[in-house]
């Protein structure tokens, strides 16, 4: 029996378990690519608009940091600049989660023990998911390339750009193969890999900010070459393509796989290399209540979110100061920002309002994941043990709801403060701007309360569907918010999203009525959820 015996069978098991997730990935990537390419093509119809875009992309620090380098002023380059971050983050995260799900999570749950006791080689448990995830990245990249070509971009550049995205996916597949060997929990392995993605982004951003302009090209500085996200750019899709750069993720994959095999040989099944710290023998008084437990379980994630929101907020604030330069020569983009930001003439205010709206949408994800922990506790069985104590159901769920809503309030406040601070630092008067936008951020809270109410209602009334429906609803709001204005959807459809009803401060004046109505809707949904939770079976 070799170390790889059973790899084929295990790969089929991975395919069977993930058939829906993989299908969504393989279908969603080209669709997203096609939609993004289509919107860019519509936006930059003529040479002048494209040259002005390229000029901004090459000079603006914010554009370099977030969109990366460009190597030409054609449509393809603009598509890459606009879509690269979204597509690569998606590929990196989906690959990471998939690898960890089929490696560390299997060990954590004990499934790996069952499998390892069968006629299965030592390395098959890791090799099988790697084969599937790498294969899926290659397939998704091919489909993405065809989608770019179908949208009207040159074939060679399309394939190079898609290959760059696939390469990023493969690189983080490799990273996750290693992190899954290090930690004991799948959460930990995912967090380590996500941190690696963050470092890769910072290195790439630094390399591109420090890079030098050469005509219509940006020659990135050396830090970009340390980052798998940078490698994708260095393929120079739609410029003079350098196909050999696509070999770098493959080299990383081989090296990381060998390293992971080596690590796996040195450790026991189920153990990690980073060992668990011990905890206190007695609980601190602050832990001994539902709210104390809630804080303990969510504080790490809230701190992480806060840091991310502050960094992004300050960056967006700085970016706002450049909005007038970037947009002045592009009426279509100006129109879009004005539409997202409440339809006013002052582009900076519109941009700031639009950014606060985007923050509120993303913070919706914090609310959803925080509340869905209740469902995970229910499926895992610990909720049963809790509800068998003298803690009432309504009290328990209400604690979770209040916790999620307070977390959301902190995050939108921080988002507003940080954005205001960033803009103030660039344009002057940071203190006043921070307070002004901090208040504007808090105005987003009623929309987030509606999200809180919706998830609570789903938990109480349709527990089995609560996880998928909660995310589906949030993604629906996200699409309405981001694409609604661009696609000219009818107002009745846009009104379905609570975010549509938040006044776009600072671009427009505060109106109280919509905020009151949103809060009332949230209250009704919360009540329905709590009553449903009180009445239903646990677990169900």
Partner 1 sequence: MPVIAIDGLVKSFGAVRALDGLNLQVEAGEVHGFLGPNGSGKSTTIRVLLGLLRGDAGQVRLLDGDPWRDAVTLHRRLAYVPGDVNLWPNLSGGEAIDLFGALRGGLDQRRRDELLERFDLDPTKKCRAYSKGNRQKVAIVAAFASEVELYVLDEPTSGLDPLMEAVFQEEVRRLTGNGATVLLSSHVLAEVEALCDRVSIIRAGRTVESGSLSELRHLARTTVTVETVRPLTGVAELPGVHEVRAVDGRVRLEVEPEHLDALLAHLIRFEVRALVSAPPTLEELFLRHYDGADDGQVVADRGAEPAQ
Binding site residues, partner 1, CB under 8 A:
108, 184-185, 276-283, 287-290, 293, 296-297, 380-382, 384-393, 535, 537-539
Q: Which is nearer to partner 1, 287 or 307 (CB)?
A: 287
- The H or E element that residue 302 is part of is helix 290-328
Supply the minimum distance, in Å, between the C-beta of residue 183 and partner 1: 11
**Cα 237 from Cα 248, distance rounded (Å):** 15
* Closest distance of CB 385 from partner 1, Å: 5
**Identity of the residue, 297 or 311, whose beta carbon is nearer to partner 1 in the bound complex:** 297
Comparison of 279 and 490: residue with beta carbon closer to partner 1 = 279
Minimal distance, residue 141 CB to partner 1, in Å: 36
**Which of 497, 495, 457 lies closest to 475, judged by CA?**
497
Partner residues linked to 217 by β-bridges:
214
Cβ 424 to partner 1, closest distance in Å?
39
When the beta carbons of 131 and 387 are compared against partner 1, the nearer one is 387
The residue (of 16 and 278) whose beta carbon lies closer to partner 1 is 278
Specify the residue, 20 or 285, whose C-beta has the smaller distance to partner 1: 285
Verify cis geometry, omega within 30 degrees of 0, for the bond prior to 506: yes
> Rounded to the nearest 5 degrees, what angle is found at the Cα of 236, between the Cα atoms of 232 and 238?
120
Q: Least separation, in Å, of the C-beta of 303 and partner 1?
A: 14
Residue 23 vs 392, nearer CB to partner 1: 392
Taking the least distance from each CB to partner 1, the nearer of 61 and 297 is: 297
- The rounded distance, in Å, linking the Cα atoms of 351 and 459 is 35
Find the shortest distance in angstroms from Cβ 464 to partner 1. Answer: 12
Q: Centre a 10 Å sphere on the Cβ of residue 159 and count the other Cβ atoms it contains.
A: 22
Nearest-approach distance from CB 463 to partner 1, in angstroms = 13
Pick the closer one to partner 1 by CB: 300 or 343.
300
Least gap, CB of 531 to partner 1 (angstroms) = 14
DSSP letter at 217?
Answer: E
Q: Please identify, using beta-carbon distances, which residue of 291 and 482 lies nearer to partner 1.
A: 291
**Token pair belonging to 222:** 């050396």
Which long-range contacts does 101-104 make (Cβ < 8 Å, 24+ apart)?
Answer: 101/18, 101/129, 101/186, 102/14, 102/17, 102/18, 102/128, 102/129, 102/132, 103/129, 103/176, 103/177, 103/180, 103/189, 104/180, 104/183, 104/185, 104/186, 104/189
In the complex, least distance from residue 529 CB atom to partner 1, rounded to whole angstroms: 18
CA distance 110 to 19: 22
> Which of these, 344, 343, 340, 351, lies nearest to 437 by C-alpha position?
351
Closest to partner 1 by CB, 21 or 393: 393
Smallest gap, in angstroms, from Cβ of residue 414 to partner 1? 24
Taking the C-alpha atoms of residue 41 and residue 153, their distance in angstroms, rounded to an integer, is 9
Shortest distance (Å) from residue 286 CB to partner 1: 11
Helix (H) or strand (E) holding 298, with range, is helix 290-328
Closest CA to 352 of 296, 253, 421, 267: 421
The pair of three-digit structure tokens given for residue 284, joined into one six-digit string: 């601190």
Alpha-helix residue ranges (DSSP H) falling in 428-511: 430-442, 445-461, 466-487, 491-494
Cα separation, 478 vs 115, in Å, equals 40
Closer of 122 and 187 to partner 1 (Cβ): 187
Q: Smallest gap, in angstroms, from Cβ of residue 539 to partner 1?
A: 8
CA–CA dist 446, 431 (Å, integer) = 25
Cα Rg of the chain (Å, integer): 24
How many CB atoms are located within 10 Å of the residue 114 CB?
11
Report the nearest approach of partner 1 to the CB of residue 76 (Å): 47
Query: CB count, 10 Å around CB of 476?
Result: 12
Sign of CA dihedral 420, 426, 428, 429: positive
Q: Based on the number of CB atoms within 10 Å of its own CB, is 72 exposed (0-12), middle (13-18) or buried (19 or more)?
A: buried
The structure tokens listed for 229 are 């996200």
Q: CA triplet 470, 474, 475: central angle to 5 degrees?
A: 115
Q: Which is nearer to partner 1, 294 or 521 (CB)?
A: 294
């Amino acid at each position: 029996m070799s170390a790889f015996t059973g790899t084929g069978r295990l790969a089929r098991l991975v395919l069977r378990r993930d058939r829906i997730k993989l299908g969504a990935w393989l279908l969603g990537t080209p669709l997203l690519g096609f939609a993004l390419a289509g919107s860019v093509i519509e936006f930059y119809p003529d040479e002048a608009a494209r040259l002005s875009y390229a000029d901004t992309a090459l000079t603006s620090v914010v554009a370099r940091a977030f969109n990366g380098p460009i190597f030409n002023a054609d449509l393809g380059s603009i598509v890459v600049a606009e879509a690269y971050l979204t597509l690569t983050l998606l590929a990196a995260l989906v690959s990471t989660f998939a690898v960890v799900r089929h490696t560390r999570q299997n060990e954590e749950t004990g499934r790996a023990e069952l499998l390892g006791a069968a006629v299965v080689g030592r390395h098959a448990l890791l090799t099988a998911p790697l084969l599937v995830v790498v294969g899926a990245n290659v397939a998704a990249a091919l489909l993405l390339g065809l989608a770019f070509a179908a949208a009207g971009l040159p074939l060679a550049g399309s394939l190079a750009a898609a290959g760059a995205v696939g390469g990023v996916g493969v690189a983080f597949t490799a990273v996750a193969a290693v992190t899954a060997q290090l930690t004991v929990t799948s959460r930990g392995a995912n967090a380590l890999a996500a941190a690696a993605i963050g470092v890769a982004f910072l290195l790439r951003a630094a390399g591109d900010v420090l890079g030098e302009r050469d005509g219509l090209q940006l020659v990135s500085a050396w830090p970009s070459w340390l980052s798998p996200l940078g490698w994708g750019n260095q393929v120079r899709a739609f410029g003079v393509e350098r196909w050999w750069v696509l070999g770098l993720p493959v080299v990383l994959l081989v090296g990381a796989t060998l390293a992971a095999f080596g690590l796996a040989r040195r450790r026991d099944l189920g153990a990690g290399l980073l060992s668990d710290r011990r905890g206190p023998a007695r609980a601190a008084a602050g832990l001994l209540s539902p709210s104390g437990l809630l804080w303990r379980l969510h504080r790490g994630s809230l701190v992480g979110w806060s840091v991310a929101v502050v960094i992004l907020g300050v960056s967006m604030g700085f970016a706002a100061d450049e909005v007038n330069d970037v947009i002045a020569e592009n009426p279509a983009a100006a129109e879009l920002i004005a539409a997202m930001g409440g339809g006013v003439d002052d582009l900076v205010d519109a941009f700031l309002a639009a950014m606060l709206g985007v923050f509120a949408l993303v913070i919706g994800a914090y609310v959803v994941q925080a509340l869905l922990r209740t469902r995970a506790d229910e499926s895992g069985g610990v909720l049963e043990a809790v509800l068998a104590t003298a803690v009432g159901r309504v009290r328990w769920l209400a604690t979770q709801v209040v916790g999620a809503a307070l977390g959301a309030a902190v995050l939108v406040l921080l988002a507003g403060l940080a954005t205001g601070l960033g803009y103030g630092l660039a344009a002057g008067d940071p203190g006043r701007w921070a307070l002004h936008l901090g208040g504007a951020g808090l105005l987003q809270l009623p929309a987030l309360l509606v999200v809180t109410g919706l998830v609570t209602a789903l938990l109480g009334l349709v527990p089995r569907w609560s996880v998928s429906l909660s995310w589906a609803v949030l993604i629906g709001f996200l699409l309405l918010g981001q694409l609604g204005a661009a696609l000219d959807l009818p107002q009745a459809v846009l009104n379905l999203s609570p975010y549509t009803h938040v006044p776009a401060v600072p671009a427009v004046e505060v109106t109280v009525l919509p905020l009151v109505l949103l809060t009332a809707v949230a209250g009704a949904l919360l009540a329905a959820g709590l009553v449903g939770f009180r009445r239903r079976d646990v677990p169900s």
